[in-house]
A and B are shown apart, each in its own frame.
Chain A
């Protein structure tokens, strides 16, 4: 017990902040991108749908290291896009926190997209028709009718996205690396301390991760519960 307290006292808390920040920012990006992509795919014809759906879901099915490999290929400063970003906007992706966010967003995005699409597909299309005949603009319809009606599905997509983004390891370690205080997330810290044989510190981080994950899911369920009165228990 005393050992654990000693570890907690001397613990470098930066992985916690980095993971939380990464999780929150990546979830925000994924939320809007996922909903946007879901809407676009829903509108598209069957052929485009099949192709687009495949591409958008790929990051979830591929091993994260493969996604990391592609991201490195894309953003490396020896590659066109990486050179362009650095020379024009002075933006560095590899080995930076921005890299953390991009990796986490890419990996977690399919969860948001798929949940949002499934939720949109379940909406009673008459609601949309009714909204149109009532004179609501398409943007109003989308945010005031479609998204709230798809609420439960979008909410669970957001929760899963956050969990996945916060725990991202493979792609993050390849694109952003593990720079303590900069890109060192909790997952990477756990892997690192285990390699050092420091199981107790690893255990402390594991407990922290579990508490955060459970706490956030619990909170979101509570919040969404208020908006899900129309969902009946059975």
Chain B
């Protein structure tokens, strides 16, 4: 098993209850800020010590409270990429890469040269980190980690401080760099796009608890849990009343949905992604909501319509329209109804 983690740690006003077992090489942890994601990575790296539990990396136990075992970060062979890269400001690029290396001077300098070449840092070796661009700093930080061949690489929100353009490029660069890395990589982020792009398996966290774990694509397609749906970017979530095996009422939207699939007993919410509505002009059809626009936000590539719910206290319903549809909307005007295709309905607990 690549990672086998189970531990508790008290953090301010909540307790972090972590449980993650995975064979996957690319694991994502998604959660809002302050939910304990970073603390999880720091516990794996040994920077902080959990109160109780066991942490196993690549079959090696690095922490076990029942056996009073707690390996120092130095002995865990874990690579940790910090959000600000944490390059040593007074050391040159080469010295940064060499910082964690063991062996003779010659061995070290060979390894450093190898890394400089691999990460396209030629000509930058004698510069200080402060003189480098954000992208170059990220490459140095990755080179420094890869130089000593860690068993696991932990990425702690590596892109959240970057502007949109750079973020996209650096994400792609990171994926390429990591593509030939055979070990496990765990990426922690609050951005679903990053997680979706990067990870094969996904753990969703909320307030210190793991909500769900599974294949990333499957969780995005069917989040199963309300918080998971919210974190994977579902904008419209409403409470439901189950009227029968194939019928649910959505009071806040003032509609009743007829489903061909069976609605399980424990479903309490329904989710529809903002892009998944289908505009309908004229007659009302099955499973549709009447449109009453409250406000519109126009972006470069999409328009966001915020619609009134059926009752006053209901949340606005979000409908995001991609550019391709704008022309149709211009011709035909606003639709009278928004249809909810059954396969797009997320049934949530």
Q: What residues of chain A have their CB less than 8 Å away from a CB belonging to chain B?
A: 124, 126-127, 129-137, 144-145, 148-149, 151, 227, 229-230
Say yes or no: is B119 at the interface (Cβ < 8 Å to chain A).
no
Secondary structure call for the A interface: helix
Q: Considering the chains assembled together, what is the distance between the CA atoms of A126 and B48 in angstroms?
A: 12
Please give the distance in Å from B267's CB to the nearest CB on chain A: 43
CB <8 Å contact, A151 and B90 = yes
Secondary structure call for the B interface: loop
CB-contacts of B128-156 with A (<8 A): 128, 130, 144-145, 148
Please give the distance in Å from B107's CB to the nearest CB on chain A: 15
CB <8 Å contact, B80 and A130 = yes
| 6 closest A-B pairs by CB | A134-B100, A148-B90, A130-B86, A132-B73, A126-B86, A133-B80
Q: Considering the chains assembled together, what is the distance between the CA atoms of A79 and B99 in angstroms?
A: 50
CB <8 Å contact, B82 and A130 = yes
Say yes or no: is B196 at the interface (Cβ < 8 Å to chain A).
no
CB <8 Å contact, B99 and A126 = no
Residues of B within 8 A of A134 (CB): 99-100, 144-145, 148
CB <8 Å contact, A124 and B90 = no
Say yes or no: is B265 at the interface (Cβ < 8 Å to chain A).
no
CB <8 Å contact, A127 and B86 = yes
Interface size band for B = 20 to 34
Residues of A within 8 A of B260 (CB): none
Q: What residues of chain B have their CB less than 8 Å away from a CB belonging to chain A?
A: 42, 45-47, 72-74, 76-80, 82, 84, 86, 88-91, 99-100, 102, 128, 130, 144-145, 148
Q: Considering the chains assembled together, what is the distance between the CA atoms of A130 and B156 in angstroms?
A: 12
CB <8 Å contact, B88 and A133 = no
Q: Considering the chains assembled together, what is the distance between the CA atoms of A75 and B292 in angstroms?
A: 90
Residue picked from B79, B88, B91, most chain A C-beta under 10 Å: B88
**Interface residue from A127, A130, A229 paired with B128 (Cβ < 8 Å):** A229
Q: Considering the chains assembled together, what is the distance between the CA atoms of A149 and B89 in angstroms?
A: 7
CB <8 Å contact, A136 and B130 = no
**Interface residue from B47, B84, B89, B130 paired with A132 (Cβ < 8 Å):** B47
Q: Considering the chains assembled together, what is the distance between the CA atoms of A133 and B80 in angstroms?
A: 7
Nearest neighbor of A131 in chain B, beta-carbon distance: B99
Residues of B within 8 A of A144 (CB): 88, 91, 99
**Interface residue from B77, B78, B84, B144 paired with A126 (Cβ < 8 Å):** B84
Residue picked from A129, A130, A131, A227, most chain B C-beta under 10 Å: A130
CB <8 Å contact, A135 and B148 = yes
With A136-B99, A145-B88, A230-B89 given, can you name 12 additional A-B contacts, CB distance below 8 Å?
Answer: A126-B82, A126-B86, A129-B45, A130-B80, A130-B86, A132-B72, A133-B76, A134-B144, A136-B74, A137-B74, A148-B90, A229-B128
CB <8 Å contact, A230 and B130 = yes
20 A-B pairs with C-beta separation under 8 A: A127-B88, A127-B89, A129-B42, A129-B47, A129-B80, A130-B80, A130-B88, A132-B73, A133-B45, A133-B46, A133-B47, A134-B99, A135-B77, A135-B102, A136-B100, A144-B91, A148-B88, A148-B91, A149-B90, A227-B90
Q: Considering the chains assembled together, what is the distance between the CA atoms of A124 and B73 in angstroms?
A: 18
Residues of B within 8 A of A229 (CB): 128, 130
Residues of B within 8 A of A124 (CB): 84, 86
Please give the distance in Å from B132's CB to the nearest CB on chain A: 12
Q: Considering the chains assembled together, what is the distance between the CA atoms of A127 and B100 in angstroms?
A: 13
Nearest neighbor of B75 in chain A, beta-carbon distance: A135
CB <8 Å contact, A135 and B100 = yes
CB <8 Å contact, B86 and A129 = yes
CB <8 Å contact, A133 and B90 = no
Residues of B within 8 A of A227 (CB): 90
Residues of B within 8 A of A230 (CB): 89-90, 128, 130
Residues of B within 8 A of A137 (CB): 74
Residues of A within 8 A of B91 (CB): 144, 148
Residues of A within 8 A of B145 (CB): 134
Residues of B within 8 A of A135 (CB): 74, 77, 100, 102, 148
Please give the distance in Å from A135's CB to the nearest CB on chain B: 5
CB <8 Å contact, A131 and B90 = no
Q: Considering the chains assembled together, what is the distance between the CA atoms of A132 and B73 in angstroms?
A: 6
Nearest neighbor of B48 in chain A, beta-carbon distance: A129
Q: Considering the chains assembled together, what is the distance between the CA atoms of A67 and B82 in angstroms?
A: 47
Nearest neighbor of A232 in chain B, beta-carbon distance: B130
Please give the distance in Å from B223's CB to the nearest CB on chain A: 33
Residue picked from A133, A135, A151, most chain B C-beta under 10 Å: A133
Residues of B within 8 A of A136 (CB): 74, 99-100
Residues of A within 8 A of B84 (CB): 124, 126
